[in-house]
Structure 1
Amino acid sequence: MTVALYGHPFSSFTWKALIAAYERDVRFEFRMIDPDHPDNMARLAKLAPTGQFPALVDGAREVVESNAIIDYLDLFHGSGAPMVPADRAEAVDARMMADVFDDYVHAPMQRIVGNALRAEENRDPTGVEDAHRMIERCYGWLENRLEAGQWATGDRFTIADCAAAPALFYADWVHPIGAQFPLLSVYRARLLAHPSVARVVDEARPYRAFFPLGAPDRD
């Protein structure tokens, strides 16, 4: 039975799972989550605690949360190198960096975007300012940690880079990476040129009008 992956091509967390699947040459069926596919939406509502995506179904096995999906694919599907390194110390570094991108770049970026989707009277300018400060602070931390010509945790692409790609792609749209962060800027460009990442970027292009703050004319 073919693995089914539920998500949307413009969804940043769906990107993480898609990047890992493409990176490892996993055979899967993509099940679109949008109003044109009500059956998929109904299935997802039962799969995930709050209906969030991505979600994966493999026979009787159901997996939600992007990092867990990447772990599952490493264990049971695909032919490429695992996204979580086999070396336990390297795995700690890769998971740590994935969490940093998820929690301190991706999450505040989504708060800024989510705020823009609210009615004017329900917006939270203080929360948005805090989110911008968190992203800026994390940019500085990453700048001091990244090494030129390397991936997030060294010389191979891992789960950390799966997390970094959507986080930095969209974060740079809402909080541009400044000239004071040259290594981070180069790393983002390297991610976007990587084949599995370039593929998800291209698949998402038709949906850029959905971005509430206006998608920039680049990338």
Structure 2
Amino acid sequence: MWQADNAPNFEYIKRVFGSCIAPVADCTAKYYNSQLKDDMALADYVDYWITYRDLSDPKNMPLLYLKDWHCVKNNPHIPIYNVPQYFASDWLNEYYTEQEELNDDYMFIYMGPKGTWTPFHADVFSSYSWSANIVGKKRWLLFAPGDEESLRDKHGKLIYDITTSNELLNQTMYPNYDEDRLKRYEIIQQPGEIVFIPSGWHHQVWNLVLIFSTVSTRL
């Protein structure tokens, strides 16, 4: 699904997966404490991505991030990827695979242009996950379990975007925030690298260039 120059093979994606429907997040539109999402055909998303790229990241277009696409589940006849041996033990996805009536899993593909991102969060069910970059570069900020408490507002809600420092400096709204004591871990993930996210670690992720990655949440 990608070319020798590390660019997505849009023609192949559109031809093979064009009729697939996948969730797409608008990174410019906040919806409660997440991003506004809608479903989109892969063919339409590829057309959007090509236009966005050719216009050099236009500010008058939405910044759309295709994420949480159940590509493996929905295309069992196509060999998408093999799970690395280090992550072979996977109770969560084994359960969903055996319970076919649930029609679900936690193996995803993400793709999108430069600048797409995921708000501050922890993975579902207090699970762990791994993310493999096929193409592109990501920036991760991770926080050990418990450290996210200083990033909750007075109502207990987590910060949406941890880069909004002016908001965090509002001691009335974020009474537990202390920049000097808060420890964070930064990772720049290159193509071909896998990031492992332990259970309970909150994180926020930015795509520094266009990306194509696989993500799997596991127990």
TM-score interval, normalised by the smaller of the two chains: under 0.3
The alignment's TM-score, normalised by the length of structure 1, stands at 0.27
Tell me which protein shows more helix as a share of its residues. 1
Looking at CA atoms only, which structure, 1 or 2, has the larger radius of gyration? 2
Tell me which protein shows more strand as a share of its residues. 2
The alignment's TM-score, normalised by the length of structure 2, stands at 0.27
